[in-house]
C-alpha cells in the first residue's frame, strides 16, 4: 500500500474540512503534506496540530503573521508558513506532493490549479470556477503534462463514476441533477423580497455561503454545465439539467445505445471526496447506506429558466466561450457578495450578470492574463452596478 502525500487548498472551508475527515479514516493511504486557507488562522492552527503538515499557507499576509506568532509561542515543531497572494500557488507546487485538492472559493482557484498541473500533480478539483473561467487552459495544461483532473463536485463525480469502463465515444448525453434550492416553489413576485438568510437555508446540502446562494439562483447548475463540458469533453448540447428535489440521484449518463446509468446516494460530500482520493479503487465505508424504501419516491421536473435566469445565462456564456464565462462568473461572484451583504435584492444577481455579459467584448482563446483582465473588468463593472442597484 503506497502512502500518498496530499496538499489541500482551502482546508478550512466545508470541502476542506470534510476532506480531512476522510483522510483521518485512511492514515495509511494519505499523509497531509500541506494545508492552505484564505484567512482562518485559528481553524488552520487546529488542523496543523492534528495533521502535522510540512507547510501551510494563508493568502492573507496578516493572518499568516499571526499564525507564525501563535505557533512559535506554543513550542513544538513548526511547519513552513507561507503568506500572501502567491502563497497558495507556491504550496500547490510543493515538492513531494502526489495530489492537490483544490477547494478554494471562486476564480482564486485558477493559478494554484495551473501550478499544481505544471508540477505534475494529480488534481482533485472541488472548485468549479477554475474550469468555468479557464477551462481551455486547464485542460490543455493537463493534457500536455499527462495529469489527471478528478472531479470532487458531487454531480461530476457521479458522471465520472458512471463513465468508468466506457469509451468517451459511447457517451451521448449527460444529465446533471439540481435540487432546485430553497426557492424552488417561491412565486416570481416574491423573489424580490427573499433574504440572504433564507437563501442560505439549503434543503439538502450543507455548504459554504457562496455556493449556497448559487444553488438558490441555479447559477451553481449553470457553472456545473460548463464544468461538465470541460471535464468530459461534452458539447453544450450534450449536457442537460433536471430538477430533482430529493438530491438522491447525483447525476446520469446516457450512452449511444440508449442505456442510462446514474449514481445514487444520500446527499453527503464525503463520498465524492473519498472517490477522488481512492480512484481508481473504492475504499470501504464513510457514508450511510442508501435505503430507497425510506426515501419512498423520487421526483424530477424541468428547471424554470424564467424564474431562475442565471442558469440559461451561464450556459449562454459557456457557448460563447473565450473570456465570456470568466466575465459571467466574476459578475456573479460580486453580485452574490452584495446580496449576502444585504446591498442588493435576489433578482438583481441575474440582472447584474446579464448586463455585464451584454457589455463585454469577448476575446477568443484568451491567455491567462487576458482571462484575469476580463475578470477584473467584470468585477469593477459589477461593483458599480451593485452600488446603483442599492440606491433607493
Ligand atoms: Mg455540485
User: What is the structure's pLDDT at 5?
Assistant: 98
User: What is the structure's pLDDT at 392?
Assistant: 65
| Overall domain count for the chain | 3
Distance 177 CA to ligand 1 centre (A): 9
Task: Look at residue 309 and tell me if it is in a domain.
Answer: no
Distance 278 CA to ligand 1 centre (A): 19
> Which domain covers residue 237, as residue numbers?
154-267+288-304
Write down the pTM of the prediction: 0.95
User: What is the structure's pLDDT at 166?
Assistant: 95
β-sheet bridge partners, residue 37: 58
Is there a single domain that holds both residue 24 and residue 124? yes
Is there a single domain that holds both residue 347 and residue 292? no
Whether 105 has a pLDDT exceeding 90, the answer reads no
Is there a single domain that holds both residue 342 and residue 233? no
By CB neighbour count within 10 A (0-12 exposed, 13-18 middle, 19+ buried), where does 168 fall? exposed
Is there a single domain that holds both residue 292 and residue 232? yes
Task: Look at residue 278 and tell me if it is in a domain.
Answer: no
Task: Look at residue 76 and tell me if it is in a domain.
Answer: yes
Task: Look at residue 92 and tell me if it is in a domain.
Answer: yes
Q: Of the residues 134, 151, 168, which one is the last residue of a structural domain?
A: 151
Is there a single domain that holds both residue 115 and residue 256? no
User: What is the structure's pLDDT at 390?
Assistant: 83
Distance 334 CA to ligand 1 centre (A): 20
Is there a single domain that holds both residue 132 and residue 177? no
Residue-wise pLDDT for 26-43, tens only, equals 999 999 999 999 999 999
Mean pLDDT of the chain: 95
Task: Look at residue 112 and tell me if it is in a domain.
Answer: yes
Is there a single domain that holds both residue 133 and residue 183? no
Is there a single domain that holds both residue 146 and residue 158? no
Of 95-99, 282-286, 302-306, 367-371, minimum mean pLDDT range:
282-286
Is there a single domain that holds both residue 125 and residue 182? no
Using pLDDT thresholds of 50, 70 and 90, give the confidence band for residue 85.
Answer: confident
User: What is the structure's pLDDT at 391?
Assistant: 76
Q: Which residues contact 46 (CB under 8 A, 6 or more apart)?
A: none
Distance 54 CA to ligand 1 centre (A): 31
Is there a single domain that holds both residue 103 and residue 232? no
Cβ pair 19, 273 in contact under 8 A: yes
User: What is the structure's pLDDT at 38?
Assistant: 94
Longest pairwise C-alpha distance within the chain:
64
Distance 131 CA to ligand 1 centre (A): 13
Rounded to the nearest 10°, the torsion over CA 218, 326, 126, 339 is: -50
Whether 202 has a pLDDT exceeding 90, the answer reads no
Distance 179 CA to ligand 1 centre (A): 10
Is there a single domain that holds both residue 198 and residue 121? no
Distance 78 CA to ligand 1 centre (A): 36
- SS3 per residue for 188-247: HHHHHHCCHHHHCCCCCCCCCHHHHHHHHHCHHHHHHHHHHHHHHCCCHHHEEEEECCCC
Is there a single domain that holds both residue 222 and residue 197? yes
Distance 77 CA to ligand 1 centre (A): 38
Cβ pair 171, 255 in contact under 8 A: yes
Task: Look at residue 276 and tell me if it is in a domain.
Answer: no
Residue-wise pLDDT for 215-229, tens only, equals 999 999 999 999 999
Task: Look at residue 274 and tell me if it is in a domain.
Answer: no
Q: Domain with 132 in it: what CATH number? A: 3.40.50.720
User: What is the structure's pLDDT at 76?
Assistant: 75
Amino acid at each position: 500500500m503506497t502512502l500518498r502525500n496530499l496538499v489541500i487548498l482551502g482546508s478550512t472551508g466545508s470541502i476542506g474540512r470534510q476532506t480531512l475527515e476522510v483522510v483521518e479514516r485512511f492514515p495509511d493511504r494519505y499523509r497531509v503534506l500541506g494545508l492552505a486557507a484564505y484567512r482562518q488562522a485559528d481553524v488552520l492552527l487546529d488542523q496543523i496540530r492534528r495533521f502535522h503538515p510540512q507547510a501551510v499557507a494563508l493568502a492573507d499576509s496578516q493572518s499568516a503573521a499571526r499564525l507564525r506568532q501563535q505557533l512559535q509561542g506554543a513550542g513544538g515543531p513548526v511547519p513552513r508558513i507561507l503568506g500572501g497572494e502567491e502563497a497558495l500557488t507556491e504550496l500547490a507546487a510543493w515538492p513531494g506532493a502526489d495530489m492537490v485538492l483544490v477547494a478554494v472559493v471562486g476564480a482564486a482557484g485558477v493559478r494554484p490549479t495551473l501550478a499544481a498541473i505544471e508540477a505534475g500533480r494529480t488534481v482533485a478539483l472541488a472548485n468549479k470556477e477554475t474550469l468555468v473561467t479557464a477551462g481551455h487552459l486547464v485542460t490543455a495544461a493537463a493534457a500536455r503534462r499527462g495529469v489527471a483532473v478528478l472531479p470532487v463536485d458531487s454531480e461530476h463525480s457521479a458522471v465520472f463514476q458512471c463513465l468508468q469502463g466506457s469509451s468517451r465515444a459511447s457517451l451521448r448525453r449527460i444529465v446533471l441533477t439540481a435540487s432546485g434550492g430553497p426557492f424552488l416553489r417561491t412565486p416570481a413576485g416574491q423573489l424580490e423580497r427573499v433574504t440572504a438568510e433564507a437563501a442560505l437555508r439549503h434543503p439538502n446540502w450543507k455548504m459554504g455561503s457562496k455556493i449556497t446562494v448559487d444553488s438558490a439562483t441555479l447559477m451553481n447548475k449553470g457553472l456545473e454545465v460548463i464544468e461538465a463540458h470541460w471535464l468530459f469533453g461534452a458539447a453544450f448540447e450534450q449536457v442537460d439539467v433536471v430538477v430533482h428535489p430529493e438530491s438522491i440521484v447525483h447525476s446520469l449518463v446516457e450512452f449511444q445505445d440508449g442505456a442510462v446509468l446514474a449514481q445514487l446516494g444520500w446527499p453527503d460530500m464525503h463520498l465524492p471526496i473519498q472517490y477522488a482520493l481512492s480512484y481508481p479503487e473504492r475504499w470501504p465505508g464513510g457514508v450511510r447506506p442508501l435505503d430507497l424504501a425510506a426515501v419512498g419516491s423520487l421526483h424530477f421536473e424541468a428547471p424554470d429558466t424564467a424564474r431562475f435566469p442565471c442558469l440559461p445565462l451561464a450556459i449562454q456564456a459557456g457557448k460563447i466561450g473565450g473570456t465570456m464565462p470568466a466575465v459571467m462568473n466574476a459578475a456573479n461572484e460580486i453580485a452574490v457578495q452584495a446580496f449576502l451583504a444585504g446591498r442588493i435584492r435576489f433578482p438583481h444577481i441575474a440582472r447584474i450578470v446579464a448586463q455585464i455579459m451584454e457589455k463585454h467584448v469577448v476575446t477568443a482563446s484568451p491567455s491567462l492574463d487576458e482571462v484575469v483582465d476580463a475578470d477584473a473588468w467584470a468585477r469593477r463593472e459589477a461593483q458599480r452596478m451593485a452600488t446603483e442597484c442599492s440606491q433607493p
